[in-house]
Amino acid sequence: MDFPAALKERRASRRLSQLELALRAGTTQRHLSFIESGRSAPGREMVIRLAESLDLPLRERNELLLKAGYAPAYAETALDSPDLAPVLTALTHILDAHMPYPAIIIDRHGEIVAANAGKRILTEGCAEHLHANAYRLALHPDGMAPRIANFAEWAWHVLNAMAGELARNPDARLAALHAELSRYVPPARVTPGHLGFAVPLELRTPHGELRLITTITSFATAVDVTLSELKLEAFLPADQATAAALTKTAERHSSP
């Protein structure tokens, strides 16, 4: 796909008219029309402005620049690079500070790149090969699924979030994972009083049933592709009993 077609496709996927995108990017509808038809070749700064106005992920912004004949603008640094060591150290501090509650950092495909010691409450009894990917860990029959009291509701919460990400930023690997995990999930059950699928995770553990809510933090101001695709998922107790159980569990494991 050439640059004009790629730009038009991304604009259409975000349901923006040429006029809306032109206004966001600080240009005219006529100029944008010429760019999308191939009658005008945009400069590098214009491509960056258009990509930013479309709110494209940094990876896609680089791809759009390449299609327009320009070098990528955003670095993609390996996680084990010394250049990212200060950032990863800071993230480790955040994870540790969240104890005794679980917290993990995942990449765009759900691979777990870091976690605090509280993760053990999530992985107890799960097959070892599932520990690497948060989505499989949550929904696979050999993962957390048998211990989730409200599995159907929680699973659809996870699947809907993945589907939303795919709608915004199509990705073949994530789409394949979504299709795989969908096979493990029963049909959605909409009952009277239904409040949606963004529900607390009700997790059965040897320490009692825990009710957990999640917060997800993304690194929106990152200018590195790798960092921009990381997400911090932190679990919080939804009630006092869960808070007390997690505190006791952490104390038990930290005792000599």
pLDDT tens-digit readout, 55-110:
999 999 999 999 999 999 999 999 999 999 999 999 999 999 999 999 999 999 99
C-alpha to C-alpha distance for 30 and 20, rounded to whole angstroms: 12
- Per the document, the length of the chain is 256
pLDDT value, residue 196 = 57
Q: For residue 24, give both structure tokens.
A: 């966001």
Quote the pLDDT of residue 250: 84
**Residue appearing with tokens 């799960």:** 126
Rounded to whole angstroms, the Cα distance separating 164 from 36 reads 26
Contact present, 32 and 21 (Cβ < 8 Å): yes
Mean pLDDT over 40-48 rounds to 95
Phi, psi of 205 (to 5 degrees): -140, 165
User: Which pLDDT does position 167 carry in this prediction?
Assistant: 85
Question: What are the domain boundaries of the chain?
Answer: 3-67, 82-254
Share of the chain above pLDDT 90, in %: 80
Query: Predicted confidence band at 168 (pLDDT cuts at 50, 70, 90)?
Result: confident
d(CA 247, CA 249) in angstroms, rounded, equals 5
Nearest-angstrom CA–CA distance, 201 and 243: 14
Q: What's the confidence (pLDDT) of residue 159?
A: 94
Q: Domain 82-254 has what CATH class? A: alpha beta
Amino acid, single-letter form, for residue 114: A
pLDDT of residue 195: 55
Q: What pLDDT is stored for residue 52 in this prediction? A: 95
Q: Is the pLDDT of residue 253 over 80?
A: no
DSSP string of 122-181, one letter each residue: HHTT--GGGTTBHHHHHHSTTTTGGGBTTHHHHHHHHHHHHHHHHHHS--HHHHHHHHHH
Task: Give the pLDDT confidence of 175-222 residue by residue, as tens digits.
Answer: 999 999 999 998 876 666 555 556 789 999 988 899 999 999 988 788
**What is the CATH number that goes with domain 3-67?**
1.10.260.40
Residue 122 neighbours by CB under 8 Å, 6+ apart: 102, 137, 144, 203, 235
CA angle 183, 188, 189 (to 5 degrees): 145
**Alpha-carbon gap, residue 7 to 83, rounded angstroms:** 32
Q: Which residue has the higher pLDDT, 43 or 253?
A: 43
**Same fold yes or no, 3-67 and 82-254:** no
Q: CA-CA distance, 112 to 104, in Å (whole number)?
A: 7
Helix axes 3-13, 58-67, angle to 10 degrees: 150
Name the pLDDT band for 1 (thresholds 50, 70, 90). confident
Q: What is the pTM of this model?
A: 0.85
CA distances from 81 to 85, 93, 246, 251 (A): 7, 18, 34, 34
